[in-house]
Amino acid sequence: MNLARVSSLLALGLHAAHAVHAALPTVPTPVREAAPPAAVGGAGLLQAGFGMAAVVGLIFLCAWLARRFGLQRLGGGQVVKVVSTAMVGPRERVVVVDVAGQWLVLGVTGSQVRTLHTLPAQATPAAVTPMSPQNPVGLFAQKLRDSLAGKARTAP
């Protein structure tokens, strides 16, 4: 047999086999079910425990900082009002409180409170008004409102 004839017969056979394979019906592959989730191990529980401890610790740290630096609760109509506070040491501070029109200058330590001086109530510095130069955010907000109002008036 001729080599050319053998190669052409082989090519024809491969082509026929491919055509027969393409004509066969295909069977869908079975869908594999998802594996059940792995059980939570000791490492996962330890990580979750450390995360929860960190969050609780952060809450206590924020509460301690708020008390330490004198973050006051919001409330109006109190009989005793703190006018000013100044830290004079790691655990000592001087506090001026207003009690019924009388100012008390108090020395506050970790274990005691002493009255240092009393004086008649004085006018407190005026609060920063929204339009004052000391409040640039309020000034910017007012200028923005004015410019938007000006555009609204010029629009048809």
Residue pLDDT tens, the chain, 156 long? 566 666 676 666 666 666 555 555 666 777 777 666 666 677 888 899 999 999 999 999 998 888 877 665 655 556 788 888 888 888 889 999 888 888 899 999 889 999 998 888 877 655 444 555 556 666 777 777 787 777 655 545
In three-state secondary structure terms, 48 is: helix
Residue 105: C-alpha distances to residues 70, 113, 114, 120, 121 (Å): 16, 10, 9, 11, 11
